[in-house]
């Protein structure tokens, strides 16, 4: 059996092609997997578990069917859906993972991140991220009226798109020198993350030893999945239709 990793699906009802591809993925590849890890930005926007609409409940039900079939499901927050909480996880039969979790894959410890915390050259975003992820800010956000949260979510999404257009690729990408430092601190030689929408396998040195940073792809023009089995790590795209 294998373990699957995906991220950055940005699921929304307005992209039925991605939704169909994801549901097919659950019924085929994920159905035979030992575990499925979703490393953030699973939804395009999430305003709170109490604001789940019919579309989001249908996605949760699909995940629950997979979980009930025996595939373990793990979900990590992204920058678009960091308000996902225990309510969704119960409905979806999944376990919420903390950012920076280390899991063991076939005898190797592997560090898991969404990836936005690695983009340290984007200082304004990091300041915003720190404010939004503060426990008090999270409590406050979850207790705002739903209409206010929807308005704030649209504002944050628009700001994110503007930042992507206006800032250089280097600023919004991962800071390379930060990666081996974090991997050395966590005593791992493999890091898996998403966020940047730049799928690749980067070879690097960690304390003089060979390591790798695997970047998951987004599901916009095509789907991406990382499959891990006893033979190694296999990152590959597939068509949405």
Dihedral, CA of residue 47, residue 51, residue 52 and residue 55, to nearest 10: -80
Q: Give the mean pLDDT of 42-63.
A: 97
Q: Which residues are annotated as a binding site for Mn(2+)?
A: 8, 10, 41, 79, 114, 195, 197
pLDDT at res. 39: 98
Reported as a single tens digit per residue, the pLDDT across 69-104 is: 999 999 999 999 999 999 999 999 999 999 999 999
Q: CB within 8 A of 1, min separation 6: which ones?
A: 32, 33, 34, 229
Q: Could you list the residues known to form a binding site for substrate, using ranges.
A: 79-80, 122, 160, 164, 167, 195
More confident residue, 167 or 120: 120
For residues 38-51, average pLDDT: 96
Residue 211: strand pairing partners: 204
CA of 169: how far to CAs of 156, 162, 185, 220, 236, in Å?
Answer: 20, 13, 27, 19, 23
Tell me the percentage of the chain whose pLDDT exceeds 90. 89
Task: Say whether pTM exceeds 0.75.
Answer: yes
Contact by Cβ (8 Å): 5, 225: yes
Query: Residue 165 has what pLDDT?
Result: 66
CATH for 13: 3.60.21.10
* pLDDT at residue 1 is higher than 90: no
Q: Domains in the chain: how many in total?
A: 1
Arithmetic mean of pLDDT, 21-40: 97
pLDDT of residue 163 exceeding 80, the answer is: no
Q: Which domain holds residue 186?
A: 3-238
Q: How far apart are CA 103 and CA 128, in angstroms?
A: 28
Annotated binding site: 8, 10, 41, 79-80, 114, 122, 160, 164, 167, 195, 197
Residue 54 has pLDDT above 80, yes or no: yes
What average pLDDT does range 172-182 have in this prediction? 93
Q: Per-residue confidence at 141, pLDDT binned at 50, 70, 90? A: very high
């Amino acid at each position: 059996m294998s373990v699957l990793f995906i991220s950055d699906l940005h699921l929304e009802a307005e992209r039925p092609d991605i939704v169909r591809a994801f549901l097919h993925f659950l019924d085929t590849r994920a159905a035979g997997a030992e575990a499925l890890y979703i490393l953030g930005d699973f939804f395009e926007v999430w305003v709170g578990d109490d604001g789940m609409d019919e579309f989001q409940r249908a996605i949760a039900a699909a995940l629950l069917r997979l979980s009930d079939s025996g595939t373990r499901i793990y979900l990590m927050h992204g920058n678009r859906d960091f308000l996902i909480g225990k309510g969704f996880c119960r409905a979806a039969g999944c376990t919420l993972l903390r950012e920076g979790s280390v899991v063991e894959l076939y005898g190797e410890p592997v560090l898991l991140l969404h990836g936005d915390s690695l983009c340290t050259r984007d200082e304004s975003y990091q300041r915003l991220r720190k404010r939004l992820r503060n426990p008090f800010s999270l409590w406050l956000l979850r207790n705002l009226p739903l209409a206010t949260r929807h308005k704030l979510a649209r504002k944050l999404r628009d700001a994110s798109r503007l930042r992507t257009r206006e800032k250089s690729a280097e600023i919004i990408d991962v800071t390379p020198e930060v990666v081996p430092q974090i991997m050395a601190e966590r005593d791992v030689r493999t890091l898996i993350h998403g966020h940047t929408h730049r799928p690749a396998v980067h070879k690097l040195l960690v304390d003089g030893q060979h390591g790798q940073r695997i970047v998951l792809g987004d599901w916009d023009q095509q789907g991406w999945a990382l499959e891990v089995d006893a033979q190694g790590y296999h990152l590959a795209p597939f068509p949405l239709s």
